[in-house]
Chains A and B, each alone.
Chain A
Amino acid sequence: MRYVLKKTATTLITLAVVSLLLFVAFSLISGDPATRMLGTGATPERLEALREELGLNEALPIRYVKWLVSFVQGDPGISYVYKQPVASLLSAKVPVTLSLTIMSFVLVCTIGFPLGIYTGKYAGSALDRAVMVLNQVIMAVPPFFSGILISWVFGMVLHLFAPGGYVSYTASIPGFLGYLIFPAIAIALPRAAQLAKLLRGTILEEAGKNYTRTAYSRGNDTNGVLFGHIIKNALLPVLTFLGMCFSNMLAGSLVVERVFNIPGISNTLLASIGNRDYPVVLAAVMWIAVFIIVTNLIVDILYMVLDPRIDGE
């Protein structure tokens, strides 16, 4: 329990530091937001009034605290370009990006685990060697490229879905998931290959240890040793990988959303970077950061569940 508390405290500190760094960085570059919103032709009085309204006349630390409080409350400021609350620009898009990431994550696990365990068990066999080479090839294909190939094969040749025909989750949940499965495959493939390769490696490493020999000598068969003893230990490094994998796929979905015309946060974020619309960029990046940092906390806690010795340290 001490471990969980310690990790939660570290997580809160990390969140504070990351939000402070991002806020300061974006505040320093954004120049005068009032001039940006009203244009250079605005009268000094109007500029001053807007600065007062946006709270820009206050000191940076006070602005940071105010921004943080409103970010936590779900209102991270007003877009310079659209002059709308940032929350209303992003709120409909966040669930789309998150669904895509979670779906890819589920696919990574369902493909990667069986493949990793199988190739670990039968390492050196013909199938294992074939999978190994195939894994290298799959890991070399960037998801946006495989995404184009997938929409060609499954969309244009096999007519399983209509490329570009995104179905909103408000219109039809099955239609939404049915469309997302193809980009999710594109995102998941290289990660699943990585997972399989990593799991195979950790299984083989554990297989060489003394406790494995002991487990055999007590009369277990291969499956008994593998599933009863080896897997649990082999999973520890895999857990760390899965945490990083989730973060990377969240970023990766920004790229793949482009390929499949999915209205997630990608287009808004990139357009805002292009327009120098900093409140939107800051909110989107901070939002992704929160997800990544919380994911890491979950990984740390799961680590303790798998290896309770950590708690005592």
Chain B
Amino acid sequence: MEKKRTSPLAFIDRLPNPGLFRMGALITLAVVLLVVVGLVWMPYEPTAMSPDRMQGISAAHLLGTDKMGRDILSRVMYGSRVTLMVALGTMAIGAGLGVLIGAFAGFYGGVLDEIVMRVMDGLFAFPNVLLALVFVSIFGSSTTHVMWALGIAFIPSFTRVVRSEYVRIKHLDYVKNARLQGASNARVIFVHMLPNVRGVLLSNLMIGFNNAVLAEAGLSFLGIGSQPPFASLGQMISEAQEIFFTVPSAVLGPGIVIVLMVLGFSLMGEGLRPATKGLD
């Protein structure tokens, strides 16, 4: 990274706070590695029970075993995959629909815009965990339903920023120019304007991803989403709370992975923000 040749990572040094960004990227890389390795290899089957119950940390079980004798490291690997998938799916649904709705509302304006934005305000006021609870009590509890429920709960945050960007840029010259050249509305919205909202979209995605991870963890802690015996990080913590004093790693393992998953992204986000000076 310190070489004079332009490495693909050279952009990091030009960031406002390269140190924080690097730290965040390393943490995220570690979590992704845990998930990716888990796709091809896990020390044990995450649902396989064994007579070695509530073992502490050992060479055979790097994070010990839970009260059913299942290997905690394997379960953490599997659970991180579930949490990561739900968070990414949530972002895909929330950002996808949110951008679409925001772009149309901002571009066309008028009564439709007004109605859409009031609905978004209403949706935005509700805590995402509560929306998800209503959703699963109507449609049933599964990982897919949690993903959709959280995805819908995240739509307003994207709609708002994208809409206000569209309102701002729709009178700029390049948009007028594109329309004079005869571009259709759809082409103007998606080909000409969409690339110019990627800045606000990126920071919103980073915050949204973190909130999605935390929301999924909270819901699975309540037993909603991934069903036993399959592990999700929140659910593992919930099950392990009573054996915390015997096997601390059963709580700390999944807990720390959640923290790192969120922290990695938020530090990367902080690294992108310019440094500030105080009043004095």
Contacts and interface: CB of A to CB of B under 8 A. Distances in A.
A140 B129 contact: no
B256 to A, nearest CB: 9
Interface stretch (B1-9, B72-80, B100-108, B133-141): B133-141
Contacts of A225: 279
Contacts of B238: 144, 258
Nearest to B255: A145
A250 to B, nearest CB: 7
B130 A288 contact: yes
Given A120-B279, A136-B266, A142 B217 contact: yes
B237 interface: yes
B267 interface: yes
A148 B222 contact: no
B130 A226 contact: no
Contacts of A20: none
A139 B237 contact: no
Nearest to B122: A14
A75 interface: no
B218 interface: yes
Given A140-B259, A142-B218, A148-B251, A247 B278 contact: no
Contacts of A100: none
Contacts of A281: 134, 137
Contact of B129 (A14, A251, A258): A251
A212 B1 CA distance: 42
Given A25-B138, A145-B259, A251 B278 contact: no
A142 B214 contact: yes
A296 B125 contact: yes
Contact of A292 (B125, B224, B237, B259): B125
Contacts of B141: 273
Given A29-B138, A144-B237, A270-B223, A121 B278 contact: yes
Interface in A222-251: 222, 225-226, 244, 247-248, 250-251
Interface string B202-223: 0000000010001001100111
Contacts of A188: none
Interface in A46-87: none
A258 B222 contact: yes
Contacts of A17: 122
B263 interface: yes
B258 A122 contact: no
B181 interface: no
A259 interface: yes
A123 B276 contact: yes
A266 B224 CA distance: 13
Contacts of B251: 145, 148
Nearest to A125: B278
Contacts of A132: 270
B280 A22 contact: no
Nearest to B131: A251
Nearest to A243: B125
B182 interface: no
Contacts of B133: 254, 269, 273, 285
A124 B275 contact: yes
Interface in A264-282: 266, 269-270, 273, 276, 278, 281
Contacts of B174: none
B277 A255 contact: no
A254 B210 contact: no
B1 to A, nearest CB: 22
Nearest to A143: B218
Nearest to A207: B279
Interface of B: 20, 122, 125-130, 133-134, 136-138, 141, 210, 214, 217-218, 221-224, 234, 237-238, 241, 244-245, 251, 255, 258-260, 262-263, 266-267, 270, 275-280
Given A120-B279, A122-B279, A137-B263, 15 more contacts: A121-B279, A124-B278, A137-B259, A139-B210, A140-B259, A141-B259, A142-B214, A148-B241, A252-B129, A254-B129, A258-B222, A270-B223, A273-B141, A285-B133, A292-B127
Q: List the 3 closest A-B pairs by CB distance, nearest first.
A: A251-B127, A123-B278, A140-B262
15 contacts: A121-B279, A123-B277, A123-B279, A124-B277, A132-B270, A133-B20, A137-B259, A145-B255, A148-B255, A152-B244, A203-B279, A244-B125, A250-B127, A273-B133, A289-B126
